[in-house]
Structure 1
Amino acid sequence: MKTVLLFLLYMFMAVAVIVLAIMLGNAGAWYFAWLVGTTMIVLIGAVGGVLLDTQDRNAAHRGRR
């Protein structure tokens, strides 16, 4: 049953994407690039924060020795 529900969910998502692509026309590529770029900037910022936190934690740990 779970497989059928996942299939239906993915089918609905595919239909929604196709409908959006038809509605947006030539501007669809611009919106796609904007969405991917924004996502990448957020992910890179999050990774930078995690790396900085890890470096601070390692520096504090070394200072205790």
Structure 2
Amino acid sequence: MKTVLQFILFLAIAIAAIAVGVIVGNYGLWYFSWLIGTALIVLFATAGGVLFDTQQEQHEII
């Protein structure tokens, strides 16, 4: 039963992705790169913040 539910879920996701692709048409690649770029910027900013905090903590210990 679990496998059937997973299959239905993935099928629904695939249908939604195809529908979004049809709706956005030629702009799909632009939207995809925009989303990926935004996610990468957020990840790099978060990693930079974590590294900065770690360096500050190490500097206070010494």
TM-score normalised to structure 1 length: 0.83
1:37 CA drift (Å): 0.5
**CA 1:2–1:59 in structure 2 vs 1: closer, same or farther (change >3 Å)?**
farther
Query: What amino acid maps onto 1:22 in structure 2?
Result: V
The number of residues matched between the two structures is 62
**CA 1:13–1:61 in structure 2 vs 1: closer, same or farther (change >3 Å)?**
same
**SS, match of residue 19 in structure 2:** helix
Which 5+ residue runs of structure 2 have no aligned equivalent? Answer: none
Percent identity of the aligned residues?
A: 48
Cα RMSD between the aligned structures? Answer: 1.3
TM-score normalised to structure 2 length: 0.86
